[in-house]
A and B are shown apart, each in its own frame.
Chain A
Amino acid sequence: MKIIACIKQVPEKDTRFEINPQGTWIQEQELTFEINECDVYALEEALRLKEKHGGEVVLLSLGGESAEKTMRRGLALGADRGILILAARDQTTDPFTVARALLTQVRLEQPDLVLTGVRSDDQAFSQTGTLLAELLGWPHATIVMKIDWEAGAGRLTIQRELEAGLLEEVSLPFPAVLTIQQGINQVRYPSLKGIMAARKKELRRVNWAATGVSGDRKIAIEKLVFPKSDKKSEIIGGTPRDAAATLVEKMKKEMKIL
């Protein structure tokens, strides 16, 4: 089975964000980056399918030169090779543009499956994988929590998450696009051997111009702002001990749980 795992490089989760002077994006200098969380689960699922059934896992990403670092991490986890579409920031913010660029490489590679995360940690539109499926004319399923495939079978059985602890079990034929939910598996950490091997693995760069994707974007992020707060919580200051004492008073008199 040949699987493409689409991953995105995003700032680490713990980051305290600052907005750039133009107000159009975050200040990216000096941030550290990681693979988007849902995409890590998608890659792990791809690796498990390969380990069980054989085949190849190809990483596909879109971003700046700096994305090589997270691509190498994906290769260290066990992907066989990578394709990085080099794109400027404004080419990465419109999900439609991203999907069309990914489409060019998926068509060339002709995998059996494309796996990616349900959503990105940065923009969180939850669109790219499904847009890609429709552009390919392939079936898809989103928010996937389980993938079952019997070797040789023409269809996959998957479970997708619904609200309130329910799952929907569906089947669909190959080739297909699945968007993976976090928690589908327990992700691995790269081994030293994997890290060493990753340095030598093929990472092919594709220039934006080579994708032939025009600037026909559908939506644009005009600016970033700090969210407006309707309700302000009362921040209790002081040393941990003082703050605890104040809070206990409130738990006693106001919340009435002590």
Chain B
Amino acid sequence: MQLGAPHPERWNVSDLILFLVEHGGGRTRPLTWECLAFVQGLALELSRKVIGVVLGNNIDSVCAEVAAAKVQEIWKVSAPELETYNPDCFSAALCQIIKPAEPYAFAFAHTYRTIDFAPKLAAALNVGFISDITRYRIDGGRPVFTKSVFHDKLAAEVSFCAAPPHLLSIQIGSFPGDAAQREGRAPVQEKPVNLAGVPDRRRMLQIIQAMKNQVDLSRAQIIVAVGRGIGKQENLKVAQELAAALGAEIGASRPIVDMEWLPRDRQIGSSGQTVAPRVYFAIGISGAIQHIVGMKNSAFVVAINKDPNAPIFKVANYGIVGDLFEVVPALTQAVKQQKGNG
């Protein structure tokens, strides 16, 4: 497939970049604009056209909302089977849209739902899928995508070997939604799908609140959060002493909670609580993206880690590279002294 400027009169089959509109409760979700910002940028560089795809049931208000952004068209894919998420129906509907349209690419936000159905869609279409993209560049007319690998300590540049359509998912927070061009007026086209033949296999039973948060960390002014670097459960007291000296709440990254060293209501990150304290101390936390999304809005971040390449240092205002078992007790001591003087 040759890339380059499309013929001006007609859309060539590979001129389209589609993206999935994220919505809920009859409104678009902010992730939609992150995805739009990404595809608008990509479309501009590759001379393609952007089409938003809305999947669901009773989605007119969502279609209208996103049709008022700068897109070529909105495709409304409405069916009762799409009311509740189901990977078989989602994948079948998108297959029926993608096959005749033969777009150059289809982009998603890398959500837990996308993880659930996009690889299935890729296999059904027999195409490539580059997931969790944080950046891209164009190299000789060909896009090369960057994603985090090895616990976010390294980045990989990934490209497609297979022909389009290319499936893409973008990491949440990597393409700010404010960059999306929101002014426009696009026609809404209905795209009928037939889901009658989709096997009834996976059935949604209910949505459960995993645990009622006993501790609301979102109100904490100071949080001392510990990660895998703490090593052993007994070592938690090093962090707890600092927290006590500061009057801070204790938080944790996922592995600490998975090992049951602290209760789940202390977990900070994508599957735990989202916090924004005045100061966030990250102790022995390497800073995988799932953790970062839960604490990046803290006013100040202080990271203490022995690995100078730990990704936590990319979001920290202040960092101390060293052995936390030396640094944290010294800090606790210094805080106590300061408070004693004050």
Q: Is the CB of B129 within 8 A of A233?
A: no
* Cα A200 to Cα B129 with chains together (Å): 40
* CB neighbors of B among A92-138 (8 A): 94-96, 99, 118, 121-131, 133-135
User: Which residues from chain A contact B300 at a C-beta distance below 8 Å?
Assistant: 254-255
The verdict on A222 contacting B155 (CB below 8 Å), with A171-B202, A234-B317, A247-B331 known, is: no
Residue-wise, chain B 3-43 has the 8 Å CB interface mask toward A (1 for contact) of 00000000000000000000000000000000000000000
Q: Is the CB of A143 within 8 A of B112?
A: yes
The one of B154, B259, B271 that contacts A161, using a Cβ cutoff of 8 Å: B271
Q: Is the CB of A169 within 8 A of B157?
A: no
Q: 7 smallest A-B Cβ distances: which pairs?
A: A218-B128, A183-B258, A134-B123, A130-B119, A233-B316, A244-B330, A127-B119
* Cα A218 to Cα B119 with chains together (Å): 12
A22 within 8 A of B: no
Residue-wise, chain A 156-194 has the 8 Å CB interface mask toward B (1 for contact) of 010111111111111111000000001100100000000
Q: Please count how many residues in chain B sit with their CB below 8 Å of the partner chain's CB atoms.
A: 99
How far does the Cβ of A140 sit from chain B's closest Cβ, in whole Å? 7
Return the chain A residue nearest B319 by Cβ: A233
Q: Is the CB of B154 within 8 A of A19?
A: yes
A-B contact list, 5 entries, CB within 8 Å: A165-B209, A186-B260, A241-B330, A248-B331, A258-B335
Q: Is the CB of B154 within 8 A of A26?
A: yes
Q: Is the CB of B258 within 8 A of A163?
A: no
User: Which residues from chain A contact B44 at a C-beta distance below 8 Å?
Assistant: none
Residue-wise, chain B 195-209 has the 8 Å CB interface mask toward A (1 for contact) of 000000111111111
A interface majority secondary structure: mixed
Q: Is the CB of A131 within 8 A of B335?
A: no
Which range holds the interface residue count of chain A?
35 or more
B138 within 8 A of A: no
The one of A19, A139, A142 that contacts B201, using a Cβ cutoff of 8 Å: A139
The verdict on A222 contacting B122 (CB below 8 Å), with A124-B147, A244-B333, A255-B278 known, is: no
- Known A-B contacts: A130-B117, A166-B209. Give 6 more (CB < 8 A): A118-B115, A145-B210, A171-B202, A233-B313, A235-B313, A248-B335
B160 within 8 A of A: yes
* Cα A133 to Cα B317 with chains together (Å): 44
* Cα A66 to Cα B146 with chains together (Å): 29
Return the chain B residue nearest A165 by Cβ: B210
B193 within 8 A of A: no
B120 within 8 A of A: yes
User: Which residues from chain A contact B319 at a C-beta distance below 8 Å?
Assistant: 233-236
Q: Is the CB of B150 within 8 A of A221?
A: no
Q: Is the CB of B162 within 8 A of A222?
A: no
User: Which residues from chain A contact B323 at a C-beta distance below 8 Å?
Assistant: 240
Q: Is the CB of B318 within 8 A of A236?
A: yes
Q: Is the CB of A170 within 8 A of B307?
A: no
User: Which residues from chain A contact B120 at a C-beta distance below 8 Å?
Assistant: 130-131, 133-134, 140
* Cα A173 to Cα B88 with chains together (Å): 13
Q: Is the CB of A165 within 8 A of B152?
A: no
Return the chain B residue nearest A229 by Cβ: B314
How far does the Cβ of A174 sit from chain B's closest Cβ, in whole Å? 10
B213 within 8 A of A: yes
Q: Is the CB of A248 within 8 A of B116?
A: no
User: Which residues from chain B contact A19 at a C-beta distance below 8 Å?
Assistant: 154
How far does the Cβ of B310 sit from chain A's closest Cβ, in whole Å? 10
The one of A127, A134, A257 that contacts B279, using a Cβ cutoff of 8 Å: A257
User: Which residues from chain A contact B211 at a C-beta distance below 8 Å?
Assistant: 165
Q: Is the CB of B314 within 8 A of A231?
A: yes
B186 within 8 A of A: no
A69 within 8 A of B: no
* CB neighbors of A among B310-332 (8 A): 311, 313-323, 326-327, 329-331
User: Which residues from chain B contact A228 at a C-beta distance below 8 Å?
Assistant: 135, 155
A88 within 8 A of B: no
* CB neighbors of A among B125-160 (8 A): 127-132, 135, 144, 146-160
* Cα A227 to Cα B134 with chains together (Å): 10
Q: Is the CB of B317 within 8 A of A224?
A: no
Q: Is the CB of A227 within 8 A of B155?
A: yes
User: Which residues from chain A contact B115 at a C-beta distance below 8 Å?
Assistant: 118, 126, 130, 142-143
Q: Is the CB of A240 within 8 A of B327?
A: yes
Q: Is the CB of B156 within 8 A of A221?
A: yes
* CB neighbors of A among B296-311 (8 A): 299-303, 307-309, 311
User: Which residues from chain B contact A96 at a C-beta distance below 8 Å?
Assistant: 122-123, 128
The one of A13, A140, A160 that contacts B151, using a Cβ cutoff of 8 Å: A13
* Cα A216 to Cα B161 with chains together (Å): 8
